[in-house]
Structure 1
Amino acid sequence: MSDLTIVYRTHQVWIKPGHQLFAYLEQACQNAKNLYNTTNFFIRQVFTSFGRNEPLQPLQQQVMNTLKTQLEA
């Protein structure tokens, strides 16, 4: 049996503002960052919501309602 080692590598590419793809890639990176942050926010709200003996905070309630609506769809 072979021993597999997974290695993650990254590669950085610098694109100048004058490049034809600059605006597109800048927007794509911004969208990726926003998605990452939104996902982390939802995870934090759900994590802190479970196991509480007190009422949920307004943002926690909003996140739980959103998830319930989306999961039932």
Structure 2
Amino acid sequence: MLVLTRRNGESIKIGDDIEITIIQSKNDQVKIGIKAPNNIEILRKELFEETRNENAQASKNIGELLKFFTKKQN
């Protein structure tokens, strides 16, 4: 993991297309702004993980349903 120190108003570039700017920092919170192309999805990590877990559970449920219907047909 790369760790950088930035002040309010300073930015970090990722490649040519992504810029992260520190908008405000106080206490234990940092407010950031992200400029990126529209085709790049940006999510908070907890939402990303929640969605991934829900998709995994849905896939598992579909697998169980397929097994159930396969047994019914035999």
Tell me the TM-score normalized by structure 2: 0.40
Question: Which one has the bigger strand percentage?
Answer: 2
Considering fraction of residues, name the structure with more helix: 1
The TM-score with structure 1 as length reference comes to 0.41
Q: Which has the larger radius of gyration?
A: 2
